[in-house]
Structure 1
Amino acid sequence: MEEPRDNKIVMLIIGLLMGIASTALVVAAAFFIIKIKGFAFTSSQVQDTDSALSEETINKVKIIEDTIGTYYYKVDMDRTAEADAIYKGVVSSLGDPYSEYYTTDEYEDLMSDTQGIYYGIGAYVSMDKDTKLPRITGTIKDSPAEAAGLKANDVIYKVSGESVHGMSLTEVVGMIRGEIGTKVELTIYREGETDYLEIEVERDKVEAQTINTTMLEDNIGYIGITEFDSVTTGQFTEGIQELRDKKMEALVIDLRSNPGGSLSAVCDIARQLLPKGDIVYTVDRDGNREDYKCDGENEIDIPVAVLVNGYSASASEILSGAIKDYGIGTIIGETTYGKGVVQRIFPFTDGTAVKLTISNYFTPNGNDINGVGITPDIEIALDNEAYNKDGTDNQLNKAVEVLKKEMEKAGNKLDKAA
C-alpha cells in the first residue's frame, strides 16, 4: 500500500504511537495539530525531551503503519474508526477513568446531554466501580426505558448482542442511543432473577426532568435531583418555590444515584441553601486554588435531610459534602462514590473534544473525598427486597423520621420562647 503523506494521516500515525506508549506525558500530544483556544502548536514545540514524539518514535509508528498496510489481511479498512481508536488510545493511556476523547458524534451527544434533551431511551447510566459494567441508576418518568420495564440497579451486559465489557461509559451510551423509532435490545442482569433478561426498547426523543418534587406527610417537602445539567438550576428553583407555596416545614433532598454533572449548576443550587462561605474549592497540579463562594443570602431556614448512596458522585458529593460541613442538614444512606476530581472539556476545531481531569476538589472544611466518599451521619442500606416488592423506601422513611424529630425540637423551642 502506498504510504499516505498528508498531514492528517501523519497525525494519526503519531497518535497510534502515543496510544501504545503508556505515559502520562502524552497529553501534550493531543494539541499537536489541532487548534485550541485560538492557538496551534507546531511539531517543533512538542518534540522535546519530555514528549513521546521523538524522531525515533515517529519513525517507528510509520513502520507500524507500513506493516499494517502491507500485511494486514483486510484491504478495505475503516480509516475513520482507526483514527478514533488512536485518539482514544492517547487519552486512555493516562489511566484516568474520567478523562476521555470524544468523536464528533459523541461530543454532540454530550452537549445535548447537558441541555437535557437527547435521542435515546431515557435511562440514567453509571459505571459500576466493582464490575466495570454500566449500571442503570434510574429512568426518566414516562420514558421508553420506564415503559419497557428497566429498573434502577439493572446491570447492562450486552447492547444489541454485543458485550460491553471493557467499553467506556460514553461508548456504551453511544450504542444505546439512536434514531427515533429504532429499537435497541439490552441484555440485563437483575438481582433476584435466575437468568439474564432481554429487554427491547424503542428509542425516542427524551427531555430530562432532572428535578421531581412532592409533599410528604407533616408538611415535609421532597425534592429529587437526578443529575446536574444546565436545565437543573431553573427546575430546582421552581421546585423549591412550589414546595414553599405548599407550606413546607422541612425538606428531603434526594441525591441517590445522582452521577453529578455541571459544577456551575451544583454551585447555583448550593447558593439557594448554604450559609455564607465556600461551597467547594479546587486545587490544580500547580497548587493553584479556586474558590466557589456562597453569599448566604438564601440560607435554608428549615430542617434538611439529604439521601445519598454509593452512586451519588461528583457534583452530588459537592452538595452533600457542603451541607454536612456546615451542619445544616443530616446526611442519610450509604457512603458516596468518592469522585473528588474536576474535569474540563477542551473542544477542537474539527468538532471533536477531549475531557481531562484538571484538579481535585475539597469540601468547605478541606476534606478530600476522592476515592473515599462522604460517610453519612446515619448509615442505612436500602432494603431492595421491600422496595422492589411494594415500593417501601426505608431510607426515605428514616429521613422523614429524623425530620419529624427536628421539627418537634424546633416547635418546642418556639413554645419556650413564647
Structure 2
Amino acid sequence: MKKKASFAAGLIIGLCVGLIAAVAVGIAAYRHYTRLIAPGKVVDEFTIQKINLLSDVIDTYSYDYMNDEYTVEEKRDGLYRGIVDAIGDKYSAYMTAEELAEELEDNAGVYYGIGAYVSLTEDGYPYLSGIMEGTPAEKAQLRSGDVIVEVDGESVLGWDLDEAVAHIRGEEGTVVHLKIYREGERDYLEIDVTRGEVQSQTVAHEMLEDDIGYIVIAHFDYVTIEQFAEAYKDIRDHGAKGLILDLRGNPGGLVTSVVGVAEQILPEGLVFYEEGSNGRRIDYPCDGQNEIDIPLVVLVDQYSASAAEILSGSIRDHGVGTLVGKNTFGKGIVQDVKQLSDGSAVKLTVSAYYLPNGDNIQGTGIAPDVEVDLDVDAYYDEGIDTQLDKAIEVLRSQMK
C-alpha cells in the first residue's frame, strides 16, 4: 500500500471550511494583533486582507450543499487547523479546549478508548505503535504496527495525530469501526472495537529463568516513573542478576518521565540535551546515585520512538547496556503545548534533542548493537519471540 499524506491538503480544507466563519470580530482582532508583530511574519496586514477577500468570495458565491453540516465553531476550528497544518510539520497541531483536556487526561494515565498507542508513519498515516494488555484493542486482536486507513468509514488522509486520537476515542460502550492495513495481509481488515475505560499501566514486569529480570515500558507518562521504580525494586528483591528492558513499540511520551526513569539506572552525566531555534541549550543531567550494577540489555524496534530513543540512546552512550532488535524510529525532536487564552492550544515542535555523545537521531534512528528480526508468524501463531530470545542469549553471555 502506498502511504501518502499532504499537509497542504489540510490548509486547503481548513480554508474552504473555516473561512466561511471568518466574521468581522475575528478580523478586527487580527488587525489589532498585526500592528504589534514584526515585518516578515506569516500573519500581517496582507494576509488579513487576503483572508477578508477569500471570506467575501466564499460568502457570496459558495453553494452550501452540505446544508450546514458543520457548526460555525467547527468551521472556525477548520481555519485554525489549516493555519497550523501549513507549517508542514506532522507533529504540530491545533487543539480545541476539549482536545487539550483529552491530551492532559491521556498523560494522567486514565481515559476512554481502545487501549492502543497511536503514532504517525513517515507518510502521515496513524498506526498502532503499541497495544495495552487487557484492553479493547487486545480483545479485538489489533496488533502493533497496524496502519489505520479509515475510522468509522471516514478516510484518515490528512489527519494529524490529535485528530486521529480524537476520532478513535469516545464514550465507554460505544463502537469504533477501523479499516486496517496489516503487513502480510492481502486485503484491508475491517475491525469493530468497543470502547472502554483504559487505565494506563505503562510498565509490566516478571522474572525469567536464570535470574533474569524483564521490564516492559509501553509509554512514558506521569505514572511511569513510580511504576518503573516498583517494577525495578521487585525484580531486584527477587534476586535479578541481569535485566532486559523492553522498549519495543514504545512511541515516547513525557520528557520528565523518561528523565525520571533514566535517573534510576544511569551513571552520572547527561541523559540528553535540547536546542531550540533560539540556540538555547537545556541540559537534562543524571546524578548517578542509582547507577545499575547488573548487566542490561535493551530491546528496541522500528516503533521505538522519541522518549524511548532518548533512554535507549543514553544507555548506549554511557556504555551500561546493549541494544538488541531493529533500528529505532528516528524522532529527534520535542513538542510542547502552548495553551491560548480561550482554552484552546497549539502543539508545536520547539526543539531538537541530542544524545550524550551529541547525536541527533531525527530521521535516522538508533542502530542496535545486535540486529535481529521479529518472526511475526512465529510470535502470533506459536508465542515465540525471536527478539526476546536473542536478548536473553546476549544477557546470559554477559552474566557469566
TM-score, L = length of structure 2? 0.90
Equivalent position SS for 2:36: helix
Displacement, 1:3? Answer: 9.9
Equivalent position SS for 1:319: helix
Residue 8 (structure 1) aligns with: 26
Q: Quote the Cα distance in structure 1 between the aligned partners of 2:22 and 2:313.
A: 53
In the TM superposition, 1:84-233 aligns within 5 A as 84-130=77-123, 132-233=124-225
Displacement, 1:148? Answer: 1.5
Q: Among the aligned pairs, what percent are the same residue? A: 48
Residue 34 (structure 2) aligns with: 43
Tell me if the contact between 2:27 and 2:52 (Cα under 8 Å) persists in the aligned partners: no
Residue 13 (structure 2) aligns with: none
Tell me if the contact between 2:275 and 2:353 (Cα under 8 Å) persists in the aligned partners: yes
- CA deviation map 1:340-382 (0-9, x unaligned): 1111111112111111111111111111111111111111121
| Contiguous gaps of at least 5 residues in structure 2 | 1-19
- CA deviation map 1:62-101 (0-9, x unaligned): 1111111111111635321221111112211111222211
Q: How many residues align?
A: 378
Residue 414 (structure 1) aligns with: none
Tell me if the contact between 1:104 and 1:351 (Cα under 8 Å) persists in the aligned partners: yes
Residue 341 (structure 2) aligns with: 349
| Structure 2 residue corresponding to 1:392, chosen from 362, 376, 384 | 384
Residue 47 (structure 2) aligns with: 57
Q: Quote the Cα distance in structure 2 between the aligned partners of 1:239 and 1:371.
A: 32
Displacement, 1:7? Answer: 2.6
Residue 300 (structure 1) aligns with: 292
* Distance change in 2, residues 1:361/1:155 (3 Å): same
Equivalent position SS for 2:343: coil
1:246 paired to 2:238 = yes
Q: Quote the Cα distance in structure 1 between the aligned partners of 2:363 and 2:183.
A: 26
Equivalent position SS for 1:45: coil
TM-score, L = length of structure 1? 0.87
| Contiguous gaps of at least 5 residues in structure 1 | 15-31, 34-41, 409-418
Displacement, 1:387? Answer: 1.0
Q: Quote the Cα distance in structure 1 between the aligned partners of 2:47 and 2:189.
A: 48
Q: Quote the Cα distance in structure 2 between the aligned partners of 1:388 and 1:79.
A: 48
Tell me if the contact between 1:4 and 1:10 (Cα under 8 Å) persists in the aligned partners: no
| Structure 2 residue corresponding to 1:267, chosen from 249, 259, 271 | 259
Moved more, 317-326 or 95-104: 95-104
The residue type equivalent to 2:48 in the other structure is I
* Distance change in 2, residues 1:53/1:165 (3 Å): closer
Tell me if the contact between 1:122 and 1:145 (Cα under 8 Å) persists in the aligned partners: yes
Residue 255 (structure 1) aligns with: 247
Displacement, 1:195? Answer: 2.5
Displacement, 1:202? Answer: 1.0
The residue type equivalent to 2:389 in the other structure is N
Displacement, 1:246? Answer: 1.0
Moved more, 367-376 or 76-85: 76-85
Report the RMSD for the aligned CA atoms in angstroms.
1.8
Displacement, 1:253? Answer: 0.5
The residue type equivalent to 1:406 in the other structure is Q
Residue 315 (structure 1) aligns with: 307
Name segments (4+ residues, structure 1) moved above 6 Å.
none
Residue 367 (structure 2) aligns with: 375
1:79 paired to 2:69 = no
